[in-house]
Each structure stands twice: as C-alpha cells, then as structure tokens.
Amino acid sequence: MAFQLKPETVEKIDRMIARYPQKRSALMMVLHEIQEEKRVISNEAIEWVAARLELQPINVLEVVTFFPSYRQKPIGKVWVRVCRTLSCALMGGYKTGEILEKELGCKMGHTSDDGSVTLEYAECLAACGTGPVALVDEDLFENLTPDKLGPVIAEIKKRAAGGTPTPTKN
Amino acid sequence: MPVTETRLLLKHADDPAYGIDLASYEKVGGYEMLKKAVGLKPEDIRTEIKNSGLRGRGGAGFPCGVKWDLVDRKSGKPIYLIVNCDESEPGTFKDRQLVHKDPHQLIEGVMISAFANNVALAFIYIREEMPKGAKILNQAIEEARAKGYVGANICGSSYSCDIIVHRGAGAYICGEETGLIESMEGKRAYPRIKPPFFPAVLGLYQCPTIVNNVETLCNVPHILRMGAAEYCKIGRNNNTGTRIWCVSGQVQRPGYYEVAGITFGQLLNDICGGPLPGRKFKAIVPGGGSSKILRYDEKFKGKKPDGTPHEFTFDEIPLDFDGIASAGSMSGSGAVIVMDDSVDIMEALANLVAFYAHESCGQCTPCREGSLWAKKMTHRMCGGEARERDLTTLYDMAGNIGGRTVCPMGFSTTWPVQSYIDKFRPEIEAKTRENRLGMSRDARLIEK
C-alpha cells in the first residue's frame, strides 16, 4: 500500500515547508511530524519525504540514521527515556532504570512484546538539578529516586493501556 | 551578610502569579524595549551591546558585540539569526528555565537583536527533548505576532522579521554552531571547517549568520533598559551581568541560581547549602561535562591585579568566566556538577566518556575512534579488567583528539580524561592496579 498520512498532517507539513527559505531545511521538522503520526520512519516515508522536498531518498536516509531521535523501528505506544548522564547517575539514575525495567516488563533499549512501551536510556535531558529524570513521551518526570517511582510507573501503565495522559506542568 | 541571588533574567520566572502569556510579560514592562529599539539606529544598539561587555553564555564566553561586528554586512546576502537552544552539555538546564518560564523575554531579545543586525528571518533551534518548550515558544510567537511584535511591520515600523522554531533530533553536536547550521539545511550535523566557514560570513545557505545562546539574547532587553554603563556595574570587569549557574549532583540544594560577583564557595556552601550530611566535597565540574575537573581541596596559583603571586582555595575562586579560567578550567555553559567523597572518580569519568563517545558525530577519525576507544578503556578500568598500560594509553590517546578535529568537540574527550587523571592519579592508579570494580557508594555510574 502506498504511504499515506492524515490530510491534516500533510497540510501541516506543506505549511511548514513553505516557511523555510529552502525546502530541504524543513527536513527535520517534516520527519518529526511523520514520526509523531506513524511512530516510525519507514522506507516508504523516506521516499515520500524525498519527493516532497525534491531530494533523493539517500539525502533523507542519511539524516534519519544520523539523529538518535528518528527511528526506523517502531516506537512503542509510550516512549520512556531515562537519563543516564553524570548528574542523574549520581542521584541513582541507573537504579531507577533497573526498577522501571522490572516494573514495566521491558528491557532497557527495547520495546515490550506487546508494543506498548519503549524503554531506553537517554543522554542528558537538560534537567540535571532535579535528577534522576525521565521523559515519558512529551512529559518530563523529575526527582525519580528509586523510592519515588510509584506515580510515574502508574502513569506509564495507564498510557500503555490506552488511558488519556495526565497533564503535567513541564 | 547572607549571600543572595541577583535575579535579572529570572526575576519573574518563579513567581506563581507570573504566567507565560503575553499579558504577564507586558505587565512587567515587556516589549517596551522592542518598541524603543525600532526607533533607534541598528548600529547604535550594536554599540550599546558591545559597550555592555556581554559575553556569550553558551560556552566559549565570546563577546556578543564583537560577534555581531564580525558579520559581513556588505555581501548583499540576507543575514540570519539563529538562537542556540540545543542545550545538551551535561549539567546544563538554564535555557530550559528561560524558555519554559519566560518565553516572551527570549522573543523580545531575539527581535531586538534581529533588528540591530538587519535580520529578516530568525530561527530558534530547540532540542528535540524539549517538546513542550517548542510548543510554548510557538504559542508565544503567535501571541506576539498578533500584537505586532513579530512578523510584518514590527511595532508599526517598516521593519519585518519572522521567527521559526526548528526542532533538533537528539544530537549534542548541534550545539556546535556550524553543525547546527548544517542540520538546519537538512543535512547531517557535521561541523564545517573554519576557515572559511565562519558563520558570520558563510553560515546558513552560505549567508552571514549569527548564532547566539538563549541566555545571551535574554540579556539584550535588559541592557537596553538599563543602559550599558549601568549593566556593567553588575558583576566584575570583563565579566559583566549576571549568570545563571546550574548546580547538580551531591549538594544540599541543587538548582539554578542567577548570581553576580560571588565566589564558588559562596555558591556551593551558602546558596546551595554545602555537602550532603556527613559528606565532604571531593570534586567539582565547573562548566559542563567537557570542562576540566577541579579538586575541592586544591590550592590554585594566580596573580593579584598588582602582579604579586598568591595562592587561593576552591572556595575563593571568583564565580565568573575569568575566575574559573584562572583556576585552570572554564565556566562553559555554567553547569556545575558536584561530587562528594562517596564518588569513585574513575566511574564518574567513565560515565562522561560514554556520553562523548555516544555524541561524537563521526566526521573526524580522532574523535570518532578515540572517544569510543576511551569508553572501552574507562569501562574496563571500572570493571576490574584494566590492562597494565591502559592508563598511559588512555592519557596519551586522549591528548591526540582535541585540536586535531574539525570542531572543538574533540576536547570534550581530551579535557575530562586528562584532568581527571592529572587531579586524581593516585586514586585511579591504585584502582586499576588492584583491578577493583567501580564502586561509588551511593549509586552506580556506568552501565553493567
């Protein structure tokens, strides 16, 4: 089947492309839009983007493979990134990661078998003063010391089961 | 007298009654300086910024006014302004506060700077891991556009300029300005070689481009409001204005603190409350993960203004660009990572080396291969499998990365490796000789 996006996503993408002085500059933003809808950047998506931006597919592929945020394997329904860099590690970030692995039944760096959760270590998330921190989709959870993981685990499980995300302040 | 913060940029940020909406910002005098600016001559604003002594808050501390002076204004090509909000240096979280808590202050700073440099299009490059920040900025820009602060005919003048929020995708190297520019052109973020590709001359689309840090530009409206002379009274000579320090790690009260004219000891002991109960400070990373580490018990040698040599302690280091430089390191992005006596220093080094190995863009061989090799060596040195020559090899090899690559990121492996070994050699030697496992008391610092 041909690659298809929601009409509103296509509209958003076209508006975005029009704002840049050169079409190619919109590449990263277009990829973000596609990944948000599809949870993955497939080969078909790469070809679609290339055509849209008047590029060769290789121009798109080399950007997709360069940046850690773009994924060629589908991301789970909930994307959990736990910071592992020094400030968070000093406050117990690795322990937090281990507990999340156990509680969510998902190995670090993998997506759970049912596709509900992707759990990963991430490099510095720029919230070092309140470490350990984790990014759950768009929401930052702070001060995640091993004894304070209850709420974040509950929230991840809720989202994985299809519940509406609880609004957070960040 | 108790040591207090000097809040200029963060003055309203943590006020519960202060919102991120335009009305809140206007209520405290927001956009008044933009209105004033469009009635001035662009070169007069540039002179004012130059006279204020404002130095770049992103890492290198390069004077902002000089950076603007270097812009090629005779090429006839459009000039672009890019705000570097790709905050990724380990330990840094100041731009996050400025964007999430006072987005209009940044937008006003961007618009004044854009006007001062005849910029027709500005970009804010924000890292992917701050999705809410991007949304906040977009919303704020739309609000400002509706009021004529962004877009066509700003504040009723003939000047027009738009802002595009561009999201990164998780690559540290995009904090390097030419890497950032490449990625904005839709390419891999491989930094460009300088010369000839100085952004001020050949930047985005080979046009003159200014890349400034978020905190730097947030200072601009305040300089205009106070006047350069008054602004210079904050802080020390050549280190004017406030700085936001991000303190993280093992200290009583980690957080972000905007201060001026204090010492390192005052920041860590008075403002941050000192070490955790029963602990002692051991080592401090003063300016982000890539800066050279300092020992807390170290004695530094320097010269007084009159030229007489003197010794000073860590606590006495003036907390600014020149102060930290005089102690042999750098203030970088203002990120202070504190480690106490529970930390195994070798493990801390291995943690940071893993970061820089992950983030090397791979363009230059010394950095690509060297950072990964350093990661392998430091990890086996923590894992009880050190080889006899590892320490020497690691030290020598790291010295062959920095300065032998296209961008300065090579030093991000060189500086931590060499400074950790220089400052803590006996501890590291004993550990590798006895092949002890990594053992920071509180927490493990590297992956198993």
ipTM given for this complex: 0.95
Q: Do B337 and A90 touch (CB under 8 A)?
A: yes
Position B379 scores a pLDDT of 95
A93 and A145 fall within a common domain: yes
Position B415 scores a pLDDT of 97
Domains of chain B: 22-233 (3.40.50.11540), 237-340 (3.10.20.600), 345-447 (1.20.1440.230)
pLDDT at B307 over 80: yes
Q: Summarize pLDDT for B11-34 with one digit per residue, the tens.
A: 999 999 999 999 999 999 999 999
Residues of chain B with C-beta less than 8 angstroms from the C-beta of A143: none
What is the pLDDT averaged over residues B421-443?
90
* Residue B368 sits at the chain A interface (C-beta within 8 Å): no
Position B355 scores a pLDDT of 97
Q: Do A89 and B444 touch (CB under 8 A)?
A: yes
Position A164 scores a pLDDT of 67
Note whether residue A109 is domain-resident: yes
Statement: the pTM of the whole predicted model exceeds 0.90 = yes
Note whether residue A154 is domain-resident: yes
Q: Which residues of chain A have pLDDT under 50?
A: none
* Helix (H/G/I), strand (E/B), else coil: B45: helix
Position A65 scores a pLDDT of 98
What is the pLDDT averaged over residues B422-438?
91
A82 and A62 fall within a common domain: no
A57 and A105 fall within a common domain: no
User: What letter would DSSP give residue B203?
Assistant: -
Note whether residue A32 is domain-resident: yes
Query: In angstroms, what CA-CA distances link B136 with A3, A30, A170, B42?
Result: 31, 19, 10, 29
Note whether residue A122 is domain-resident: yes
Q: Do A129 and B170 touch (CB under 8 A)?
A: no
Rounded CA-CA distance A125/A142 in Å is 11
Work out the burial of residue B207: count CB atoms within 10 Å of its CB; fewer than 13 is exposed, 13-18 middle, 19 or more buried: middle
Residue range of the domain that includes A52: 7-66
Note whether residue A167 is domain-resident: no
Residues of chain B with C-beta less than 8 angstroms from the C-beta of A128: 90-93, 246, 248-249, 254, 335, 337
Average pLDDT over chain B reads 96
Work out the burial of residue B427: count CB atoms within 10 Å of its CB; fewer than 13 is exposed, 13-18 middle, 19 or more buried: middle
What's the pLDDT band for B223 if we cut at 50, 70, 90? very high
Note whether residue A62 is domain-resident: yes
CATH number at residue A93: 3.40.30.10
What's the pLDDT band for B448 if we cut at 50, 70, 90? confident
Task: Give how many domains chain A has, as a whole number.
Answer: 2
What is the percent of chain B where pLDDT is above 70?
Answer: 100
* Residue A81 sits at the chain B interface (C-beta within 8 Å): yes
Note whether residue A1 is domain-resident: no
Rounded CA-CA distance A156/A151 in Å is 9
**Do B171 and A67 form a contact (C-beta atoms < 8 A)?**
yes
Q: Do A170 and B132 touch (CB under 8 A)?
A: yes
Position B377 scores a pLDDT of 97
pLDDT at B336 over 70: yes
What is the pLDDT averaged over residues B198-220?
97
Position A80 scores a pLDDT of 98
Q: Summarize pLDDT for B287-302 with one digit per residue, the tens.
A: 999 999 999 999 999 8
A102 and A147 fall within a common domain: yes
A117 and A140 fall within a common domain: yes
Q: Do A87 and B90 touch (CB under 8 A)?
A: yes
Note whether residue A53 is domain-resident: yes
A40 and A99 fall within a common domain: no
Q: Show the tokens assigned to B372.
A: 């990964």
Residues 6+ apart with CB under 8 A from B168: A28, A67, A69, B86, B125, B126, B127, B128, B174, B183
* Axis crossing angle, helix B103-116 with helix B42-52, rounded to the nearest 10: 120
Give the residue, B302 or B180, on which the prediction is more confident: B180
Average pLDDT over chain A reads 95
Position B437 scores a pLDDT of 83
State how beta strands B309-313 and B294-295 pair: unpaired
